[in-house]
Chains A and B, each alone.
Chain A
Amino acid sequence: MIKKGTWVKIQDTILESGQRAPQLPEDTKKVPLIMWAKGYLQEDAEMNSVATVKTLTGRLVTGKVMEVEPSYKHDFGDFVPELLQIGKMGRKALWGGEDHE
């Protein structure tokens, strides 16, 4: 159980696939329009259950609980060998010689 007052991320379907805007490409029309918001749970809830949260601006939003105390995981990625290569290319072109590579 997730306790009332916990900071969670919820998701809600805004438009079902059949309700999407007519001018959209087919691949987008096939999927629903989803919205995500974060807030404090207004009642005890379970993961994936529908609950209401109070957002930072005080709005009440209802949706499926999908993450508890959401955090950021984005990073600087993996090693990209090409980037070192670019530096060598530029330095060699401007200054030449291995002292500058």
Chain B
Amino acid sequence: MSKDYSYEAVMSRKPQIMKDSVGIDYATFEAEGIGFDYERMMKETGYTLAEMQEIQGQTGVGNTPLLEMKNLTNLARKYAPAGKGARIFIKDEAANPSGSFKARRAANAVYHAKKLGYKGVIAATSGNYGAAVASQAAMHGLKCIVVQECYDSRYVGQPEIIEKARKCEAYGAEVVQTSVGPELFYVFLKLLEETGYFNASLYTPFGIAGVETLGYEIAMQFREKEGRDPDAVICTNAGGGNLTGTARGLIKAGAENTRIIGASVDLTGLHMASDEQFNRKSFTTGHTGFGVPFATNPDRSDVPRSAARPLRYMDRYVLVNQGEVFLMTELLAQMEGLERGPAGNTALAAAFSVAQEMKEDQIIVVQETEYTGAGKHINAQLTFARENGIEIFFGDPKQEEKGKNIILPEDLSLLKAQEVDLNKLRKSLVKNAASQAEKISDEDIQYLMTETKSSREFIEEQLQNLGINR
């Protein structure tokens, strides 16, 4: 008898499909109330730092160069008050085999899949992670399927995503594409069930722990180079794994005083599941459409409990506009001689602004870059934006209307990162986590304090506002 592969039938089998395809029984980490034991999950299902360095090292992942952006630093100082303008560094993650830091996540996930005896791996991603999984699968001799949301209903594809499909295929992976919509998850589940392959989710403990080596390397490289830890590390934030893994790595290195800053492209107002708006944005990742919902509700990901929990680590969250990132990408090429992909430069654009608030002898690190190429290039993306009716001009980027125009700063003094009220995000997380609960225990409160890196008073106040009884 053939299995029922209808939408409802497959979605109803989700828990079993997940369990079979990730090899983790998430139920064992669940607590009595609303929480779960995050650290135990990371410990029991992940790898130690030394093991990860070994796993990644075997496939040429990691140990990427740390570069000082001397010209951009001096340029930022032109717009900073006297004595201000921190030194800006970047970790050139584009030097990884698949061209981004995602190789770190994929190295662990694919190694783990191979160890558990899976014949292939599947990842649902329109981003660099697909290429990273495909590259690792190629090295380990595993089969690979990448599922990506790529085209709108007119079959017009985002050039950046089309390029990523090409890269996956270049590594011998099968690429399955869908039109716009979260039901891509159904296609993904169906493929997992049909093939019995491993779910190389971005959000498993081994995937997130794979980024810990990045944070750890940053601390070690700075101690060797400068004799101290950096003052701030700024991470482009989407699903939260980049920031979570990097922060955990810094903590493991003992760099406890390094501030962790998240940065996203502001796409507020654009609906991520909108067919019509899909091609009216110029960023397919690193933006608020992922950054905010995943921070405030991490378990919306494709595994029951996400290992990416950015609000546990974030000290500050800032936004920049599309025009500001495009400008910074061009300046990186023209003034530092480094041509890199735009999305990865989100944090660099923010760093240019944040550095101006910091002292001259301080250090801010942009912890990633990504590869660039046809489609995945500011020239291609600005052309595509114009073709889709987006106006592009110089002016004040703060006037940018998402989906209507892209405003490049007409003067570098106008490039200013905007502050996100972290407490607002924390409140939202508490609401998402606690609103279903009938009663909140002391254990739950402890959990929420850790989840949001905030005080007991703060959590109790939120619960009171929500009318939740203790």
Contacts and interface: CB of A to CB of B under 8 A. Distances in A.
A, B in one complex: yes
Interface of A: 14-15, 19-21, 23-25, 27-28, 30-38, 55-57, 59, 72, 74-78, 80, 82-83, 85-87, 89-91, 93-94
Contact of B174 (A25, A55, A83): A55
A75 to B, nearest CB: 5
Contacts of B274: 25, 27-28
A77 B273 contact: no
A28 B187 contact: no
Given A14-B187, A25-B275, A86-B334, 12 more contacts: A20-B183, A24-B181, A24-B182, A25-B273, A35-B176, A57-B174, A57-B195, A75-B375, A77-B382, A87-B335, A89-B411, A94-B335
Interface in B153-183: 153, 159, 162-163, 166, 172-183
B371 interface: no
Contacts of B384: 77
B151 interface: yes
Interface residues on B, range: 35 or more
23 contacts: A21-B181, A24-B182, A25-B275, A28-B273, A35-B177, A35-B187, A36-B150, A36-B178, A38-B175, A59-B195, A72-B166, A74-B374, A77-B159, A77-B377, A83-B378, A85-B394, A86-B330, A87-B335, A90-B331, A90-B335, A91-B334, A94-B75, A94-B78
A64 B386 CA distance: 31
A91 B187 contact: no
Contacts of B335: 87, 90-91, 94
Interface in B206-236: none
B440 to A, nearest CB: 27
Contacts of A33: 178-179, 181, 183-184
Contacts of A14: 178, 183, 186-187
Contact of B177 (A19, A21, A36, A56): A36
A72 to B, nearest CB: 5
A57 to B, nearest CB: 5
Q: From DSSP, what is the main secondary structure of chain B's interface residues?
A: mixed
A88 to B, nearest CB: 9
Given A36-B176, A74-B380, A25 B71 contact: no
B159 to A, nearest CB: 5
Contacts of B271: 25
Interface of B: 7, 71, 74-75, 78, 120, 143-145, 150-151, 153, 159, 162-163, 166, 172-184, 186-187, 194-195, 271, 273-277, 327, 330-331, 333-335, 374-375, 377-384, 386, 392-394, 408, 411-412
A31 B153 contact: yes
B193 to A, nearest CB: 12
A82 B392 CA distance: 9
A32 B182 CA distance: 12
Contacts of B78: 93-94
Contacts of B386: 78
